[in-house]
Amino acid sequence: MNKRRRRLGQAKPVVSAVAGTSMPAIETTDLTKTYGDATALADLSLSVPEGELFGLLGPNGSGKTTTIEILTGQREPTSGSARVLGSDPVADPLAVRESVGILPEREDPPSFLTPREYLQFVGDVRDIDDIDDHIDTWADRLGFRDTLDTLSTDLSEGERQRVMLAQTFVHEPDLVFIDEPLVNLDPIMQAEVKDHLCDYCDRGNTLFLSTHFLEVAEQLCTGVAIVRDGRLVAERDPRELGSDERLLDYFRAEVADGSAEGGTEPRSEIPAEPTEHDA
């Protein structure tokens, strides 16, 4: 897959109060979250431009999920600030949730609904016109038309993941947050989803991706940040890696540095590519 992707479209700009300027799609300043004596995030400052396919990488417990929860208005920070498409997810979480798509890790559709019923519910909540046409489009695109009217409890893990991907994009948001998009998917569907994610950003939209799978980030992302113990330790454009460089080696070096300083232990089992059984 070509990591140097062409821009095929332009996003709707998030216009600032200063005429002629635009704001980043996502911006955090000194974002901190503590739980008693435990620190989940510490002074995290990020700026994600519009049209970026941005990857947030880090070991388990490094603060990736907490970051997404704060940015999508599901959790309040202890201190610091964030802006998402120009809105404050703490002061106005509803405005953020209405504007973005969200796919948490290992989230399933309700077991008592069929995919069609669930996506119709999403359409009602998001006030989507012609929701049935959108459902047909996504069922064809993600290959679950044959199970549209099957109870979700009877679907395989991969089929449920396809439905959740559909609900993430069905309202055509300008910004999407995804935590591990490829788990449970077979190799063919993984490739198709990767292509869709690239096309989505090529049209000028923004994607904030959290993943453990570094080859996925290396293939897809136009910018990555590595967090360790809730702190930003490095940022990199994977497209600038040399022919003999791998993001995995870069990641391991940062984690090892943290261990030497008394931080996160280096992990020998850092996964490189998801399989159908990762799941």
Tens of pLDDT along the chain (279 residues)? 444 332 323 334 444 333 444 679 999 999 999 999 999 999 999 999 999 999 999 888 889 999 999 999 999 999 999 999 999 999 999 999 999 999 988 789 999 999 999 999 999 999 999 999 999 999 999 999 999 999 999 999 999 999 999 999 999 999 999 998 888 899 999 999 999 999 999 999 999 999 878 888 888 999 999 998 999 988 888 777 777 777 777 777 776 665 434 443 333 333 444 545 444
Q: In sequence order, which residues have a C-beta less than 8 Å from that of residue 127 and are 6 or more positions away?
A: none
pLDDT at 241: 73
Structural domains in the chain (count): 1
Would 250 be classed as within a structural domain? Answer: yes
Give me the CATH number covering residue 135: 3.40.50.300
Distance (Å, whole) CA 115 – CA 112: 10
Predicted pLDDT of residue 84 = 97
Cβ–Cβ under 8 Å, residues 124 and 155: no
Render 28-97 in DSSP notation, one character per residue.
EEEEEEEETTEEEEEEEEEEE-TT-EEEEE-STTSSHHHHHHHHTTSS--SEEEEEETTB-TTT-HHHHH
Residue 21 belongs to a domain: no
* C-alpha dihedral sign at 240, 189, 195, 51: negative
Q: Is residue 231 part of a domain?
A: yes
- Residue 175, beta-bridge partner list: 100, 206
Polymer length in residues for the chain = 279
Please choose, from the candidates 14, 93, 79, the residue with its C-alpha nearest in 3D space to the C-alpha of residue 40: 79
Q: State which residues form the domain around 169.
A: 28-260
Q: Return the pLDDT at 18.
A: 39
Does 152 reside within a domain? yes
pLDDT at res. 161: 94
Q: How confident is the model at residue 274, as a pLDDT? A: 55
Q: In this predicted structure, what is the pLDDT of residue 22?
A: 63
**How far apart are the C-alpha atoms of 59 and 264, rounded to whole Å?**
8
Q: Is residue 176 part of a domain?
A: yes
What is the spatial distance between Cα 228 and Cα 34, in angstroms, rounded to a whole number? 15
- Which pLDDT score, from 0 to 100, does residue 59 have? 83
125, part of any domain = yes
**Amino acid letter at 221?**
C
Spatial CA neighbour of 50 closest among 28, 72, 71, 25: 25
| Residue 8 is assigned to a structural domain of this protein | no
For residue 177, give the 3-state DSSP assignment.
strand
Structural domain includes residue 15: no
Look at residue 263 in the predicted model and tell me its pLDDT: 42
